[in-house]
Amino acid sequence: MRKHLNIYTHNGLFHADDVFAAAMLSLITEDINIVRDGEENIPEGDDWIVFDIGGGHLDHHTPENKENNGTHPNTDIPYASCGLVWKEYYQEILKEENCPERYVETVYQKMEKSLILGIDAADNGFNPIKNALESMPNIPSDQQRELIAQGNIPFTLTQIIKDFNPTWESDRDMDEAFMDAMSFAKDIFLNRLDSIIDALDGKDYILNHIDFSAEHIMILEQFAPWQGVVTSESRSNPKAQDIWYVVSPALRGGWNVQCVLDNPDDRVSYRHPLPQSWYGLRNEELQAASGVADARFCHPSGFLAGADSQSGALQMAYKAIGNTK
């Protein structure tokens, strides 16, 4: 961790790219000095990180830098200051956030795709909502245009950051507003980072339990997101292909038994559905239908059921395996 860091960016209205760039840089230092000013006062020296202004390598506005920086991998989207700062400092940032070394490059790519790319796209004039609407064949083009023109589209992250800027009637200090936006952006960045690292930890956990699955059941001692891992592993791993049900603690208490999708593109196609006679039942009715004393519910669509205990959830899974109705 650095003891102190000086950063310099442009004054005036701020955007998501410079706000997130500052937020990321604040993660590698104990103390940060942020100066927002114009071109004429750009400091010189190695003790300053200057971005989004001045024509340096972290400024994406000059034609030369646009050409030198290129575009985000496998896209036509140029880099903005957020992506440039992330690309240059990601290893230092991830080290300070205790990202396991084996995950660093994977986390870099996942953060790039899920957060950084969208921020840079918006700053370079790409409209992700417009692009998303245009990719939906079930929405006619005239309706797409009307939705976009009327602003009847969800807020984007870049719009949320933009709204931290003081309004024309406000006497609020612009730099104070920038710091508030930066604090908000830091929370978003760290939440996304934690989610990605946790998912990678969860993948290791799920892979280990796939190896120990038996009789079409995988048992997890603690809940972890398993659907994507089982699906991807099923392409080549016979053990994953053989899993019909996953038994795990329920986040609301008790234990669940959940069906594994047969086709990830079909959200209602399961390898072995729960018995239809259980669908929508709860408590005493489900206990009578299933023969499991502590059964609590079965979802109306039959993909999920729950019991008070692990043994109860396991009993439901075994009964479902032997039931074809």
Q: What is the distance between the alpha carbons of residues 1 and 226, in angstroms, rounded to a whole number? A: 35
DSSP string covering 32-71: EEEEEE-GGG---STTEEE-SSTTSTT---SHHHHHHH-B
* Residue that is written with structure tokens 């990202």 in the block: 99
Q: Is the pTM of this model over 0.85?
A: no
In the chain, the amino acid numbered 177 is A
Taking residue 280's Cβ as centre, other Cβ atoms within 10 Å add up to 13
Q: What is the distance between the alpha carbons of residues 93 and 107, in angstroms, rounded to a whole number? A: 11
Instruction: Identify the pLDDT of residue 67.
Output: 78
pLDDT tens for each residue of the chain, 325 residues long: 999 999 999 999 999 999 999 999 999 999 999 999 999 999 988 899 999 998 888 988 877 777 778 899 988 899 999 999 999 999 999 999 999 999 999 999 999 999 999 999 989 888 655 555 555 555 566 665 565 555 555 568 888 999 999 999 999 999 999 999 999 999 999 999 999 999 899 999 999 999 999 999 999 999 998 998 999 899 999 999 999 999 999 989 999 999 999 876 666 788 999 999 999 999 999 999 999 999 999 999 999 999 999 999 999 999 999 874 4
- Residues contacting 139, CB < 8 A, separation 6+: 133, 147
Q: What is the distance between the alpha carbons of residues 7 and 14, in angstroms, rounded to a whole number? A: 15
Instruction: Identify the pLDDT of residue 55.
Output: 85
Q: What is the distance between the alpha carbons of residues 295 and 308, in angstroms, rounded to a whole number? A: 7
